[in-house]
Amino acid sequence: MWSLLKTQLARIDRAAWVRFFVALAGLSFAFMAAVFSTIFREQGHLWVSALLASSALLMAGFVGLTVVPYLFRRVVVSRVRDAFDYDVTREGVFYLGIILVIAVAALNTGNNLLFIVVSAMLAAVLVSGVASASVLRGLDLDLALPLHVFAQRKVMARFTLHNLRRFFPSFSIVLTGKRAKRGERRLRWRKSVFAFPPKRPPERQWMRVPDVSLYAESLRPEEPQIFDDAVYFPYIPGGGSLAADVELMFPKRGEYQQDELGVRTRFPFSFLEKTRRIAMREKIVVYPRVDQTDELFEVLPMIRGEFEAFVRGRGNDLYRIREYLPEDSARHVDWKATAKSMSLKVREFTREDERKLRIIFDNPAAGSVPAEAYESAVELAASLSWHFAGQETELTFVAPGYSGAPDVYEFLHYLALVQPAQPGGRSAQLDALPMTDDYNVILTARPRGSIPTQLWATSYFVFIEDAGVRTGAD
């Protein structure tokens, strides 16, 4: 009993109650000052009456300016939080039609039994509204999303509805994703032509007169939503919760946001479909697609072959002599061992460093390549990063505006939000790249002639062009 009392006391909004009692005391003082002002005025004490009247006016103004707006905002927030949307169902329309027919019959015949039937049917509508509102109140929502999400890959999210009321269960709840809001719009006038008949071609119309028309101009684009489907919860016990795992898939990279979800019910009679909005603030960054695309199948074997040859040949100490393979360089052929064994032999040297690979995304300027080619290049950069991150390779990343962190998830986060660079903006500055022991994989839209010559020996180029991506070996 004591713990329940403590819980109820903890839920009390102390700040609101303190302001309420302050307002009550202030208005009481103002009322008493006004009463005594009238008394002193009748006795002829004008100065005292004026002082008390001014004090009453000032106190009432102080309460009106400081306390009333605060309490009003609290009431408005509470009203908005518990606001409902109503939709009349087909069952409800049919039921109201029956009530109307019986009511007309009762008025025409004066039959008391028909009036009782109409009253009972109207009472059922009232009970339905109260019951549906009660099962929606006190519901809270938790949304658990995966930490890393890739475009066009299915992921599981968990929606959990909590019934905060201990003794009142909820029945037949549908969690619905709020449809994307239309962007904010404003009405504008624009020039047009009034033509008659309107559906004929211009050369066959009888009349064409200059005119103006009103149209809606969008001010803010729609934001992609995380969830726009529906999940059904049949029963949530009082003080309990119920969870549902939902499969999500995002069509493209970028940032997705959910501002609110709705809990909807037709309980108990389906006369009305009532929806209560639950405000929330969830954001998720969807990484680019890293599936095995045609571009990746074309580029990856050549990058891997050149990278392996680059790594294997960097040392100075002889590691072993082995049989020649097609991907080996001719400069590693050991001619003495070849003459003795009568078969091609190559020298393999020890590695001085770890396998180091640097992926460089030279962000193209806006308008330099089509949007499809740009997205293809972003997905290829993400796929290569994801592939080599799963191997024994020390990865680094370079891109305009990128922090330089070697974490692959940081680079995928950058690629998820990257947009074409503004003309004259920052670039990857291929001319100023430091010369390291890393092997470079460079995705760029620059022409071949503008590539620094020192990069050709230690780099593999993927050129972003109008038709898509093209390898440096083409």
Q: Give CA–CA dist 137/172, Å, rounded.
A: 13
Q: What is the pLDDT of residue 277?
A: 84
CATH topology for 84-181+222-283 is Immunoglobulin-like (2.60.40)
User: Each residue of 23-77: pLDDT tens digit?
Assistant: 888 888 888 888 888 888 778 777 888 888 788 878 877 777 677 666 655 554 4
Which pLDDT belongs to residue 250?
93
What is the pLDDT confidence band of residue 274, given thresholds at 50, 70 and 90? confident
Q: What is the mean pLDDT of the chain?
A: 78
More confident residue, 129 or 213: 129
Higher pLDDT, 434 or 286: 286
pLDDT at 265 over 60: yes
In whole angstroms, give the CA distance from residue 25 to residue 6.
27
Distance CA 175, CA 196 (A): 50
pLDDT per position as a tens digit, 400-457: 888 888 899 999 999 999 998 876 655 566 767 777 778 888 888 888 777 877 777 7
Taking 80 as the threshold, does the pLDDT of residue 86 lie above it?
Answer: no
| Cis-peptide, bond into residue 326, ω within 30° of zero | no
Q: Residue 137 CB: number of other CB atoms within 10 A?
A: 17
Residue 148, beta-bridge partner list: none
SS3 content of the chain, % helix, strand, coil (to 5): 40, 30, 30
Residue 310: phi and psi, rounded to 5, are -65, -45
Q: Is the pLDDT of residue 387 over 60?
A: yes
Q: At 39, list the tokens.
A: 């008394």
Q: 474 falls in which pLDDT band (50, 70, 90)?
A: very low
The percentage of residues in the chain with a pLDDT greater than 70, rounded to a whole number, is 76
162-196 pLDDT, tens digit each: 998 888 899 999 998 865 444 445 556 667 777 77
β-pairing verdict for 155-163 and 241-248: antiparallel
Please report the pLDDT score of residue 235 as a whole number.
92
Report yes or no: 152 and 295 within 8 Å, Cβ to Cβ. Answer: no
* Burial letters 375-391, b for 16+ CB under 10 A, else e: bbbbbbbbbbbbbbbee
Domain covering 294-300+354-471: architecture: 3-Layer(aba) Sandwich (3.40)
171 vs 84, more confident: 171
Q: Mean pLDDT: which of 241-250, 273-282, 428-437 is highest?
A: 241-250
Residue 322 pLDDT exceeds 90? no
Q: What is the pLDDT of residue 77?
A: 47
Backbone CA torsion sign across 230, 231, 234, 240: negative
What is the pLDDT at residue 243?
A: 93
H helix intervals, 342-474: 371-389, 408-417
Asked whether residue 160 carries a pLDDT value surpassing 90, the answer given is yes
Strand pairing category for 155-163 and 139-144: antiparallel
Q: Which two tokens stand for residue 17?
A: 């109650």
Q: How far apart are the first and last CA of the chain?
A: 80
Tell me the mean pLDDT in the region 196-213. Answer: 75
pTM as predicted: 0.64
The more confident residue out of 407 and 19 is 407
Cα(408)–Cα(26) distance, rounded to whole angstroms? 62
Beta-carbon-side half-sphere exposure of residue 273 (alpha carbons within 13 Å): 11
> What is the maximum alpha-carbon separation in the chain?
135
Pairwise pLDDT comparison (104 vs 214), residue with the higher score: 104
Helix axes 46-66, 68-81, angle to 10 degrees: 30
